[in-house]
Amino acid sequence: MKDKFYTYIETLQKTITSKLEEVDGTAKFKEDIWQRPEGGGGRTRVIENGSVFEKGGVNISGVHGELPDSMKTYFGVKEGNFFACGLSLVLHPKNPKAPTVHANWRYFELYGNDGEIVDQWFGGGQDLTPYYLFDEDAVHFHEVCKKACDKHNEFFYQTYKKRCDDYFWNTHRNEARGIGGLFFDYCKATEAMGMQDWFNFVTEVGNSFLESYIPIVTKRKDLDYSQQQRDWQEIRRGRYVEFNLVHDKGTLFGLKTNGRIESILMSLPPHVQWVYDHQPEEGSAEERLLHILMHPKEWV
């Protein structure tokens, strides 16, 4: 399964980066092949200063070795080796009318002293972070997510949409990072869903990513915007940074397992503002966005 999934994310990385270069029209992805001293490595692809994308990364990795002590405690085991692989992407468009997007699809194996698999699971999801909210974009993104889920289980969308709202929640701000999408983790074999079934579901979601995002960024990338709107984008990007550094489990796992720091932190936008006690104008589009971030909405 690990070989099968890694082959899948290698292909998916190529598909996604090719399409993003086409949409940007100017910038190309820079590629870094890296090795992890403890075992494994990855392929990082980053795009910067393009016509559409100010910064973005589409990374794959497959790492293995002994679990660090902190992760042994987290998983509740005394000894054990692991294998983890996945694709992680974050895209920060230049235009504040175009939303940031994040996605991740991953697979994990945990081994006993004899080298046998003692646990294995899939995880992942995708979520949208707009700075100016166009309702039809939110509906489109969630409709694509729901369509992918419904092919496998009628309850997946409502379950994983709720988990996304709960997970991407900036507790210290009492607001969501964005307008959600899907979040699933610890997807393990059961009588109803074997590992092949979970593979089919996760790859269905992965394959739907371009359909969920490209029409939105294509529609918004050339809209006019003011410096004030750009400032708001950078203030909201600050909230994005706060979540990734304070709450995100993937960032924590990468740092705890001696992952490649440039790849782990590629999600951080290049231009950000932290303005003291910033409050949007009453009745403005900015205030409406904040209201929805504090009260997650059912879009479909």
Q: What are the residue numbers of the active site?
A: 102
Element (H, E) at 206: helix 195-207
- The neighbouring-strand residues paired with 40 are 63
Structure tokens at 122: 């899939």
Structure tokens at 141: 């993104």
d(CA 210, CA 45): 17
Element (H, E) at 204: helix 195-207
d(CA 135, CA 299): 8
Pairing of strands 175-176, 100-111: unpaired
Structure tokens at 280: 């949007």
162 contact partners, CB below 8 Å, separation of at least 6:
none
CB 242 within 8 A of CB 173: yes
d(CA 72, CA 100): 34
d(CA 130, CA 289): 8
Cα–chain-centroid distance for residue 258? 20
- The total of other beta-carbon atoms located within 10 Å of residue 265's CB is 16
Give SS3 for 18.
helix
Give SS3 for 217.
helix
